[in-house]
Amino acid sequence: MSILKQIETKNTLTEAKRAVKMNKGIAHAAQVLAESNLGARCPNLVKGLESESKEAKYAAATLVQLLENTAEYVAKTDGRDILHEDAVNATANTMLTPGVSTLTPQVVDIVNVFYPQMVANYIADIQALDRQSGQIFTIKTRYSETAAGVEANDIVFEKATDGTYSSEGVISYEAASIEESGSSATEATITLSPVSILTSAEASVIVRAGSFIVSVGGKEVARDYGLDTKLDGVGGTYVVIGKGISGTVDAQTGVAELTIDLAMFENGTTFSAVASYDTEIDEDLIHKIQFDIPNQPILAKEHPLMSSYSVAAGLVMNAHLAVDTDELITNQLAGTIRWERDLALVKAVSDAAKLQSALTFDCSANGTNLTLAQRYSSYTTTISSARGLIQEIAGRGTVDFIICSASQGLVVIEQIEGFKAAPEAKKPIGPYLAGTLRDGTINVIAVPYTKTLAADQVVFGFKGFQLGDSSVILAEWVPLYLTPTFQAPNLRNHKGALSFYDLFINKPEYLAKGVISNFNVA
């Protein structure tokens, strides 16, 4: 078996194993929802698994896996099964034991509050780990052969072919001319030989019958008609017929021997030829692409946080304001972790994006004494330029998310016709979805911190076509773990929160960065 065939077989098996693993994960998630009360409390997970979209199924199955990871961790540390606890009894238990919260509501929070509000949903591919030290997968597609204007191992889409890589290969020939013949000669013979030809010891035919064409000055004058005369069972010849031309072409070597009628063609006439490989006879002549699906080793880093507050303050809030202090603190902890996750993600994406001078937007270029809409609506052309740059560098993709500062970039983008504010923009915390552009196809993420993203910088990005193809991958093990509240003798309540994850920059070529200069709202 050839090396390319071995690679192709290996890649096929890898892809098949991944599909089986994904389907197994979806089936397992459905079983978990059916056997626990998680499906009743989180109907969005059920809808995701029942969706026709593969992406929705995968996202729901991933979240169930993360919840299982959290449940396993809680079971080992607290001896409780949070996936099967009854929500009503858990709430009653909380009321009977002030200061000690149950984790069961937080399982729902992960699904309905913690995850949906993360800007990672619009930027990153989220992959679940089954342990702290695990693997994520990425996808790289390469050409296996040098042909059609590309080299072997070039990345598909990044290097453009001449349009024939997925077609049968063309055999080119060296031109041949009729040599000077005597005045009494009525015929001349010429030999047309391929410039180069792929050979295969197992193939009995290389040249496809009917594909050999002889031309003079770009005009066809003869061709073979697939009349195959087998020689010794190894190869064969095709009969070439044309007006004033006869001969044969060897199906194995591609060499053609032609007899030319000098009454039809003058001395010095130049003949050229082309032919096609016969991929039906020999599959090794088919051009191939190889799918590299490497497993990237990754370690989910530990991100701990602890809160501390007065028992007296909690009692006062519970008594006078009917506020569950523990629940309030829990939401603050979860919100802080989510907030910092988004900050880290935005910073990583911004650092990975290459600054492009073509994406500089001069706010003063349209003149003065204009409304903001008149001054800034033309920024839509910069977005189109970013789309073109991503397509040129990566060979594919578009702009489906924009990350900008809340103080400058968002002010400009809001003036573009068709901008639609998102509900999250009413009460923003940290990086948030400010709105959408172009009928919802571009998500605009606003960042209120110049330490995370400079006020004059804008990042344009493409999330990716499929799993493993995104610009950045968020590797999750335990998204959110909260400890029971501990009441210390010094009348202080303590509560811990923990998250295990890591970020992996996968395709920085899907990112581009621009600058907004001379910003002014006066």
- What range does the domain containing 247 cover? 170-286
Say whether pLDDT at 14 is over 60.
Answer: no
Say whether pLDDT at 297 is over 70.
Answer: yes
Question: Tokens at residue 132, please?
Answer: 């702290």
Burial of 347 (0-12, 13-18, 19+ CB in 10 A): middle
User: Would 508 be classed as within a structural domain?
Assistant: no
- Judge if 175 and 90 occupy the same domain: no
User: Would 25 be classed as within a structural domain?
Assistant: yes
Looking at 56, 77, 102, the residue that finishes a domain is 102
User: Would 427 be classed as within a structural domain?
Assistant: no
Looking at 253, 286, 319, the residue that finishes a domain is 286
User: Would 351 be classed as within a structural domain?
Assistant: no
- Judge if 177 and 279 occupy the same domain: yes
Total number of domains in the chain:
2
How does pLDDT run across 316-374, given as a tens digit for each residue? Answer: 777 766 667 777 787 778 778 888 889 999 999 999 999 999 999 998 887 767 888 88
- Judge if 84 and 175 occupy the same domain: no
Q: How confident is the model at residue 228 (pLDDT cuts 50, 70, 90)?
A: low
Looking at 254, 286, 318, the residue that finishes a domain is 286
According to DSSP H, which parts of 262-371 are helical? 311-321, 325-352
Does residue 75 contact residue 67 with C-beta atoms inside 8 Å? Answer: no
- Judge if 92 and 181 occupy the same domain: no
User: Would 69 be classed as within a structural domain?
Assistant: yes
Average pLDDT value for residue range 98-119: 48
User: Would 357 be classed as within a structural domain?
Assistant: no
User: Would 274 be classed as within a structural domain?
Assistant: yes
User: Would 58 be classed as within a structural domain?
Assistant: yes
Query: Would you say the pTM of this structure is higher than 0.95?
Result: no
Say whether pLDDT at 264 is over 70.
Answer: yes
Q: How confident is the model at residue 245 (pLDDT cuts 50, 70, 90)?
A: very high
- Taking the C-alpha atoms of residue 334 and residue 481, their distance in angstroms, rounded to an integer, is 9
Q: How many CA atoms lie within 13 A of 453 on its CB side?
A: 36
> Mean of the per-residue pLDDT values for the chain?
80
- Judge if 195 and 92 occupy the same domain: no
- Judge if 95 and 194 occupy the same domain: no
Q: Which residues contact 46 (CB under 8 A, 6 or more apart)?
A: 33, 39
How does pLDDT run across 129-172, given as a tens digit for each residue? Answer: 877 887 776 777 788 888 888 888 887 877 778 888 888 888 88
